[in-house]
Amino acid sequence: MNEEYAPYFMLVFFILFGIMWFGITNILRNMANMSKLIEVDVGSPTNTTGWGSGNVNGVSMRNCLRVVSHNEGFVIETQKIFGGGKLWLSKEKMVLGAITKKTFFKPKKIEITSENNQVSLHGKLVDAIII
Q: How many CB atoms lie within 10 A of CB 112?
A: 20
Distance in angstroms (rounded) separating the CA atoms of residues 119 and 16: 32
pLDDT of residue 1: 54
pLDDT of residue 131: 61
The distance of Cα 105 from the centroid of its chain, to the nearest Å, equals 22
Q: Per-residue pLDDT tens for 8-42? A: 888 999 999 999 999 999 999 999 999 988 888 88
- The structural domains of the chain, ordered by start, are 1-131 (2.30.29)
| pTM given for the model | 0.84
Q: Per-residue pLDDT tens for 42-89? A: 888 888 999 999 999 999 999 999 999 998 889 999 999 998 999 999
Q: How many CB atoms lie within 10 A of CB 90?
A: 14
Task: Tell me: pLDDT of 110 over 80.
Answer: yes
Residues paired with 110 in a beta bridge: 99, 121
CB contact at 8 A, 54 and 65 = yes
